[in-house]
Amino acid sequence: MTAYNDMEIMIVAAARELENGATVAVGTGAPCAAAMLAQKTHARDLIIMFEAGGISPCLVDMPISVGDSRTFHRASKAGSMGDVMDACARGSVDYTFLGGAQIDMYGNLNSTMIGTNHQKPTVRFPGSGGANDFASLCWRTMVLTVQDKRRFVEKLDFMTTPGWLDGGDSREKSGLPPGTGPYRIITNMAVMDFEPVSKRMRVISIHSGFSFEDIQAHCGFKLIKAETLAHTPDPTDLELSVLRKDVDPKGYLIGR
């Protein structure tokens, strides 16, 4: 087995969640790398969409922004943000990848601020961008993030993006489309989903070298443990080769 690092297992685990023929809305960074890896391995007909309007481009080099000209290279459509959001609203987008400074046990995200005073926060972040729209309208939301108590918190300082809100049926009661919501949380330690009734975060698969206790120790709230915990398969030599040579050959992400 070829050695790999934390970023590589996160990207590989995320890529495996994307099946051939699916549609995924991504930003830049690790989500884009995961979509590219899936398309170059097991999901040749994966349709990748970017917030700025690039729909199903041929991604030869990794874009550095959602409006990068590479997101339109040989695309099926060089559209607009309106086209992409319209597709989400129509229920045409299967997956989206998001991130944030904080996430709670119901998959709600904060990418706005840290602190208690919105006018004078301790730290100000970029805000929603298209994240709220994607999480509200795409069928399945996935989050890639490092496992850290500062990120996995009992209560968000600000809710930028809805997950399962207060758990249970609160998301559907809020008026968001039935059947949509958080699907997977992928970290450097584990893969998690959400318990079907309570909608609380649940560990379902653990990466090599870690235990459930390790994951819980790096989380600010109590996690649910699946009845049968799986072991995340290590990245294959093929996955690592494609990731390193074709997706991120300059190591912008996997070299961190």
Instruction: State which H helix or E strand residue 34 sits in.
Output: helix 30-40
**pLDDT computed for residue 1 by the predictor:** 66
- Residue 162 Cα distances to 11, 104, 143, 171, 208, angstroms: 23, 10, 12, 8, 31
Contact 141, 182 (CB under 8 A): yes
Per-residue pLDDT of 170-208, as tens digits, reads 999 999 999 999 999 999 999 999 999 999 999 999 999
Domains along the sequence of the chain with CATH: 6-187+237-247 (3.40.1080.10)
State the Cα–Cα distance between residues 109 and 122, nearest whole angstrom.
17
State the Cα–Cα distance between residues 207 and 129, nearest whole angstrom.
31
State the Cα–Cα distance between residues 171 and 153, nearest whole angstrom.
19
Phi, psi angles (nearest 5°) of residue 17:
-75, -15
* Ranges in the chain, pLDDT < 50: none
Amino acid at 92: S
**pLDDT computed for residue 67 by the predictor:** 87
Contact 212, 36 (CB under 8 A): no
State the Cα–Cα distance between residues 183 and 44, nearest whole angstrom.
22
- Which of 19, 51, 227, 239 is the catalytic position? 51
| Percent of the chain that is helix, strand, coil (3-state, to 5) | 25, 20, 55
Torsion sign across C-alpha atoms 125, 126, 127, 130: negative
Q: Give catalytic status of residue 51 as yes or no.
A: yes
- Rounded to 5°, the CA angle 137-12-108 comes to 35
Q: The tokens of 243 are what?
A: 């990731």
**pLDDT computed for residue 28 by the predictor:** 85
Per-residue pLDDT of 138-169, as tens digits, reads 999 999 999 999 999 999 999 999 999 999 99
State the Cα–Cα distance between residues 129 and 192, nearest whole angstrom.
25
